[in-house]
Amino acid sequence: MRLARPLAVTLFAALSFVGIAAPASADPAAAGKYVALGDSYSSGTGAGSYGDSGSCKRSANAYAQLWANDHAPSAFAFVACSGAVTADVLANQVSAITSDTELVTISVGGNDAGFADVMTDCNLGSDQACVDRNAQAQNFARTELPGRLDSVYTEITNRAPNARVIVVGYPHIYHLDGSCSIGLSETKRAAINGSSDVLADVISARAAAFGFTFVDGRAAFDGHEICAPGDNWWLHSVTWPIDESYHPTAAGQRDGYYAALTGVTG
């Protein structure tokens, strides 16, 4: 997910606030072709080391790249891109999937539901404005997102009917009743986490309908959200560049997502 660029300067000026251990890999067996699809949570935005990927911000520290490094797939297509919505995945990413693809990972849906606008409204508006904007996003997720996900999942299945598909979900952004004494109110934090819950429910249900495996980001990041005690957070709060705000750090990609993914794949 990515915060909309026109809001960057306004949001930055307005804001004043401000692991799960990866299992040891003893020479894992080589794998078949692996294709990594999705949005910024899969591209690794926020984790640094983006190489020549431009605005897609594909990080060398992203869970997909870490998995490829350790498992030596016969081919690896890393096409996830910051800001991607389901239509972008269909138009620009799924073509990387071929009939010999054995593994596909994907996170998508948060941008469709308007995550960037949610975070902007919650940072700049009142408690009620934040609650209302989250309610709109949750309604979209329940009513419109399932059909969009089905279109993506159908295309993946058609292109590689024998591939294992792992759908990666989003974490809770905040640890409630946590260590932060400034920043968003607890009401706003709870509303944002509620949207993560709705996304998880919708995405996991559609993944299950297609026989895909769902990796729950809330469990993967549990105890390491923003405001978690001990300040061992695996998510950025507000950052500069602004589009890395509310995204996993390098530690979050490694100790959160990568650890959870290898817990499923070995």
Using the CB atoms, write b or e for 225-246: b if 16+ within 10 Å. bbbbeeeebbbbbbbeebbbbb
Q: Where are the beta strands (DSSP E) in the chain?
A: 33-38, 76-78, 101-107, 164-168, 213-215
Q: Nearest Cα to 68, choosing from 92, 19, 32, 94?
A: 32
CA-wise closest residue to 78 among 51, 90, 96:
96
Which of 172, 175, 236, 247 is flagged as catalytic?
247
Tokens representing 50 are 């983006």
Cβ atoms within 10 A of the Cβ of 212, count? 20
Q: Which position among 40, 43, 59, 107 bears the catalytic label?
A: 40
Which three-class secondary structure state does DSSP give residue 47?
coil
Respond yes or no: is residue 224 known to be catalytic. no
Which of 193, 110, 107 minimizes the C-alpha distance to 152?
107
Gap between the terminal Cα atoms of the chain: 27
**The token pair that represents 180 in the structure block:** 């932060």
For the question of residue 40 being annotated catalytic, the response is yes
CA distances from 153 to 38, 94, 163, 222 (A): 12, 10, 12, 27
Structure tokens at 63: 């869970």
| Active site positions, annotated | 40, 247
